[in-house]
Structure 1
Amino acid sequence: MYKSWWKILGAVLVIYSTIAGFLVKTPDLPIVRESIRNLYFHVPMWFSMIVLFSVSVFYSVKYLSSSNPEDDTKAVESVNAGVIFGMLGITTGMIWARFAWGQAWSFDVKQNFAAISILLYFAYLVLRNAVDEEQKRAKISAIYNIFAFPIMVVLLFVLPRLSDSLHPGDGGNPGFNSYDLDSRMRMVFYPACLGWILVGYWIYTILYRVRILEKNNR
């Protein structure tokens, strides 16, 4: 049980933030109104994705130095888990945009770059399926992953700040400040981020164990 404390913590934080996300009072802001509650779900999805992609690139680097196939398996399964959260991030963002901006997809610069970032990792998964030889596949995909990660960071955090954007904090728009994200929201938002990151990592470990079982049963 003591080894699973972080799983329990993640589950408790997600349950807490989900319930509190619908019940805790939020600031009455123009345009966003009650849709600001999506902050508790939309942003943690992206944080979880970035953490999982960071885990993936760590194991890709480790594979190139060790040639241990387990490191390659950990890299690909963390990408699989990260892609899940990336898709959830886009979906929750489209729902929020529908209420705040009037349409689910407005071709906002950050929306476009977020979609490209996910496609980068879909390409990673396609690349793996295109190479039959196991060691060659692992090496090529590890190199691709190492280059894809900084590109993803630039697409999500650098380029949107250089162009006009509807997103808070990008394109000259102010980010959420102490008035928008008050103390009540922070008590939900921060636990939500930590909880979803822990749950995301938990999902990655499950995918990894399933993949190992599949390999052992061949």
Structure 2
Amino acid sequence: MNKIWWKILGSVLVLYTAIAGLLLGVPHLAILNETIRNLYFHVPMWFAMLTLFSISVFYSIKYLLHGKESDDLRAIESVNVGIIFSILGLVTGAVWAKFTWGQFWSFDVKQNFTAVAILLYFAYLVLRNSIDEQQKRAKISAIYNIFAFPMMVVLIMVLPRLSDSLHPGNGGNPGFNSYDLDSRMRAVLYPAFIGWSIIGYWIYTIRFRIRTIENKQNS
């Protein structure tokens, strides 16, 4: 029980946010209307992605310090799962944009920079697959990963705020504040952050165990 409580917690939180997100009341704001419920799914995907990419950077640093193969495996698998959540973030955002802005992709500054940030991590995967020697691959990938993370943060969280954007909170466009994001929404959104991050971490641990078993069988 001590080993699975957090898995149960993550599952319960995600189930709760899925049900409450569809059934509880939300503020009736112009343009957004009922599509504001997508906030419970779109933003937590990015939060889970950032959590997983942070884990990846941590283990990349550990690998450079200690050279343990397990740290390299943890770094790559957390990136693999983080990319899945980044794609889910893009898809849920595109669906939301279709209903509020009229098209799936409007080349909004935040959409563009987010796409570039995700491509940084696809490049990470390409880099790993282009190097055959294990230690060299792990070392170069770790260095790349450490530099990619702050670049991703700048692309997603800093640069879009320097110019006009359709996204809330950018370029004079008001964000979700205490007026918009009322107590009903916070009661769903905050558990969604935690729940999806736990689920992402759970998936990452499963992938890590599978890769560890495969490496032992191939050695």
Task: Check whether TM > 0.5.
Answer: yes
Q: Which residue of 1 aligns with 2:197?
A: 197
- Residues in 2 aligned to 1:138 and 1:8: alpha-carbon distance in whole angstroms: 33
User: 2:212 maps to what in 1?
Assistant: 212
Residue 111 of structure 1 is matched in structure 2 by 111
User: Bigger CA drift: 111-120 or 169-178?
Assistant: 169-178
Any stretches of 5+ residues in structure 1 without a counterpart?
Answer: none
% same residue: 70
In structure 2, what is the Cα distance between the partners aligned to 1:186 and 1:139? 42
SS at match of 1:160: helix
| 8 Å Cα contact 1:77-1:204 kept in structure 2 | yes
Q: Which residue of 1 aligns with 2:123?
A: 123
**Distance across 2 between alignment mates of 1:76 and 1:174:** 37
Return the offset for 1:216.
1.4
Offset from partner CA, 1:21-80 (integer Å, 9 cap, x none): 110011110000000000000000000000100000000011000000100000000000
- How much has 1:179 moved relative to structure 2? 1.7
Alignment of 1:31-110 (within 5 A): 31-110=31-110
Partner of residue 162, structure 2 = 162
Q: Residues 70-119 of structure 1, C-alpha deviation per residue, up to 9 Å, x if partnerless?
A: 00000000000100000000000000000010101000000001111110
1:3 alignment partner, SS class: coil
- The 2-side partners of 1:133 and 1:183 are apart by 53
Q: Judge conservation of contact 1:161–1:172 (CA < 8 Å) in 2.
A: no
What CA distance in whole angstroms lies between the structure 2 residues aligned with 1:139 and 1:170? 38
- May I ask how many residue pairs the two structures share in their alignment? 218
* C-alpha distance in structure 1 between counterparts of 2:74 and 2:112, whole Å: 29
* Matched position secondary structure for 1:217: helix
Q: Distance in 2 between matches of 1:136 and 1:109?
A: 36
| Displacement after TM superposition at 1:172 (Å) | 2.0
Task: State the Cα RMSD in Å.
Answer: 0.6
TM-score (norm 1): 0.99
Aligned-residue offset at 1:10: 0.4
Letter in 2 for 1:98: K
Moved segments of 4+, more than 3 Å: none
